Amino acid sequence: MAASPRRVEAPIPIRQCARMIDSVHTEVMTHGYSDRTLVLITQTGKIGSLTQVTVPLASLEQGFELAPGSEED
């Protein structure tokens, strides 16, 4: 009997979603590290330029929600 494939957890927590914004397919992906979060947003499927942003911890406690729309995972 063949062994079933084992599911391996990603070492870095990743979240991803896609929405249509003004009729343009837009992908958002976040990678959570111990001391920071990488947020990638693309409408071309490529990473253009990277910018580092520092925000106060209090502003992160407010959270955010994505607007309802066509979701692709």
Instruction: List the pLDDT tens digit at each of the 73 positions of the chain.
Output: 566 677 766 677 889 999 999 999 999 999 888 888 889 999 999 988 888 887 776 666 666 666 666 455 4
Which pLDDT does position 51 carry in this prediction? 84
Which pLDDT does position 73 carry in this prediction? 47
The closest of 58, 47, 67, 5 to 39, measured between CA atoms, is 47
Structure tokens at 9: 């957890």
**In degrees rounded to 5, what are phi and psi of residue 72?**
-125, 130
Q: Report whether 65 contacts 17 (CB < 8 A).
A: no
What pTM was computed for the model? 0.57
- Collapsing DSSP to helix, strand or coil, 45 comes out as coil
Which pLDDT does position 48 carry in this prediction? 85
